[in-house]
Structure 1
Amino acid sequence: MGNTYQTLQVRVSRIEHVTPLIKRFTMEAMDGSDLPPFTGGSHVIVRMRDGERQYSNAYSLMSSPDALGSYQIGVRREEKSKGGSAFLHDKVSEGDALTITTPNNLFALDDGAHHHVLIAGGIGITPFMSQMHELRKRGASHELHYAFRADEHGAFRDELAALTQATSGGHVSFYVDSKGQKLDLAGLLGGMQAGAHVYVCGPAPLIDAVRTAAQAVGLDPSRVHWEQFAAPEQAGDAFTVMLAKSGKTVEVAAGESILKAIERDSTVPVECLCREGVCGTCETRILEGEAVHFDQYLSDKEKASQKTMMICVSRAKGGKLVLDL
């Protein structure tokens, strides 16, 4: 139940402007020692305090898993920032300390795949950077398809090209929207060889399009992997949540999360680090009713079992849920 993260203090050793909207932060351990090991596709959660406000954002590690002297993350300034990306862009300088969690991986390369098809949109390129290092080390067959709005938004393009040149069995294709270059998802997924797996990270419309195209060409869902660090828009009707331990009842409004409804009423204290369905800290046992799961933390099998749910993003299937809170 839940996930207890270990945290560590790091020093920001370098900040680079990569595109007009993206900065890369290089972080090192305070004592200069190696940081904890990780695998390609891993993320950390950066915990930030700005006066009275606290933010926790998940960011993919984009550096090589073999270079543990530092971690690197790419941070896009979000137009509708909850505060975290704006804080990192505006208030963090080289030499500053940050608190991060130890790495966790919900987007790992599948060991059984004979070929890896990586599809990135915009800032969604970051987890593939560490995966490319891993694929190169494995000598694994792969291809990267990277779509972005305009030339100036093609973050890390030169590094990716260099990585690919140094990799046997891999190639990269770029698609610049302003030049009318489009990804042919139906053709790409329809032509995938047996034993190939597809991975997608980027804006929700891209992830939805890949999953829809994969379904249309009959790809087994177990061969489709996706990740997006953004809470889904809360959609769905209002419902009632009964909290069994505390004996309280909470009304969850349409467009409101269970977590927010509980916090609004100050009903019971609930720990939730990410609020995006990726950290696992708000995992809660379902005693009655069923959930519609929107998290990326639970496996498909765990979701189907309807034993627990992430109350920061998931909702009731019917009009009522009873939770072990």
Structure 2
Amino acid sequence: MNQQKIAVTVSRIEQLSPTIKMFEFMARDTELAPFTAGSHVAVHMDDAGLRRAYSLISDPAGTGHYRISVLRDENSKGGSAYMHDKVAVGDVLHLSPAQNFFPLVHDTTCKHVLVAGGIGITPFLSYLYELEQEGMDFELHYCFRNGANAAYVEQLRQRIGDRLFVYDNAQGQQLSVERLVQQQNQNTHLYVCGPQPLINAVIEHGNVHLGEQQVHFENFGEIASGGNSFEVHFQRSGFSLEVGQDMSILQAIENDKRIAIECLCRNGVCGTCETVILEGEADHRDHYLDEGERTAQKSMMICVSRAKGNRLVLDL
């Protein structure tokens, strides 16, 4: 895992809606590197002991600045509240280098259907640059609870016109994922980012109608990791913790603060928190390991996966 940090200055903040802010960063010491559509950066909130990943929404080919958008989550565990309440123009922050676990498939012979829910619109804002540059066939379906709190709707209408389909739940507009997927040709690439129920629906119908290779997804935000409580013993550190019914192993570690863990996605996608299992069996809930790796029970993603029994021993 690349531990390098990039020093940036907060050059601009824009309130996009009552709950969403845009943050623009400019490099202090070096030029910002180009990135690929769908990439994210981790923002280090050092004085709060936090690090959170946010999708880059700016032009992937640009090196003048990076931009992210942050939803103030009513259930925030500190990250979004910090960004909204503590960060101001002129502040110096540190970012981890851009990484991409949700890349665009560069195939000009296929149609690309993007499905966004709420703040899940953010990775697709960088997609648009590459889709348009390469002349690919695409459409964007954007769902949100209330148009008053949604971001980028008017900008998207002006930019992509009739390729944008908007569903405002407050106006009684609902996306039928099943119907949308069934309307697509077999070579369509289907992408989704947003709340877990939307992701699950797109995966379910997409896998049946298009096949797993055509369905691409990114969870945005931390997935709940509920289940029976259990004990985790950290072999190298020499202590144990109780993981409660409504928390993840990662959250238990962060609350305790004796072990530092790298985790960018917090939803079992990126693989940065993969940990070796020394004893016990994991209840795997990630989207990173394949079936063979899960069956082998050699490692687990501690941000989402739990114990099958009452105890795990991990190599931490």
Q: What TM-score range do you get, normalising by the shorter chain? A: 0.7 to 0.9
CA distance 1:302–1:103, change in 2 (3 Å): farther
2:20 alignment counterpart: 22
TM-score (norm 1): 0.86
1:4 alignment counterpart: 2
CA distance 1:143–1:305, change in 2 (3 Å): farther
In structure 2, distance between residues paired with 1:27 and 1:13: 5
1:201 alignment counterpart: 193
In structure 2, distance between residues paired with 1:48 and 1:296: 27
1:188 alignment counterpart: 180
In structure 2, distance between residues paired with 1:146 and 1:132: 14
Aligned partners of 2:195 and 2:220 also within 8 Å: no
CA distance 1:150–1:189, change in 2 (3 Å): same
TM-score (norm 2): 0.88
Aligned partners of 1:119 and 1:144 also within 8 Å: yes
**Aligned residue-pair number:** 314
1:306 offset after TM fit, Å?
Answer: 3.8
Mark the runs of 5 or more structure 2 residues left unpaired by the alignment.
none
1:151 offset after TM fit, Å?
Answer: 2.9
In structure 2, distance between residues paired with 1:186 and 1:145: 13
For residues 151-230 of structure 1, what are the structure 2 equivalents within 5 Å? 151-164=147-160, 171-215=163-207, 217-230=208-221
In structure 1, distance between residues paired with 2:275 and 2:11: 38
CA distance 1:11–1:248, change in 2 (3 Å): closer
1:4 offset after TM fit, Å?
Answer: 3.3
CA distance 1:131–1:239, change in 2 (3 Å): same
2:45 alignment counterpart: 48
In structure 1, distance between residues paired with 2:197 and 2:3: 30
What percent of counterpart residues are identical?
Answer: 47
1:272 to 258, 262, 265: 262
Stretch moving more, 81-90 or 299-308: 299-308
Mark the runs of 5 or more structure 1 residues left unpaired by the alignment.
none
For residues 1-325 of structure 1, what are the structure 2 equivalents within 5 Å? 3-31=1-29, 33-50=30-47, 53-111=48-106, 114-164=110-160, 171-215=163-207, 217-245=208-236, 248=239, 250-262=241-253, 269-274=259-264, 276-277=266-267, 280-296=271-287, 298=289, 302-303=293-294, 306-325=297-316
1:319 offset after TM fit, Å?
Answer: 3.9
Aligned partners of 1:285 and 1:308 also within 8 Å: yes
CA-to-aligned-CA distance 1:212-258 (integer Å, 9 cap, x gap): 3335x444223222212322212122334344445655543333322
1:264 offset after TM fit, Å?
Answer: 6.2
CA distance 1:30–1:261, change in 2 (3 Å): closer
Secondary structure, counterpart of 2:70 in structure 1: strand
Aligned partners of 1:270 and 1:282 also within 8 Å: no
Instruction: Specify the code of the residue in structure 2 equivalent to 1:75.
Output: V
RMSD between superposed Cα atoms in Å:
2.6
1:66 offset after TM fit, Å?
Answer: 1.3
CA distance 1:41–1:304, change in 2 (3 Å): farther
In structure 1, distance between residues paired with 2:220 and 2:113: 20
Instruction: Specify the code of the residue in structure 2 equivalent to 1:15.
Output: I
Instruction: Specify the code of the residue in structure 1 equivalent to 2:278.
Output: L
Secondary structure, counterpart of 2:49 in structure 1: strand
In structure 2, distance between residues paired with 1:300 and 1:27: 40
In structure 2, distance between residues paired with 1:324 and 1:226: 30
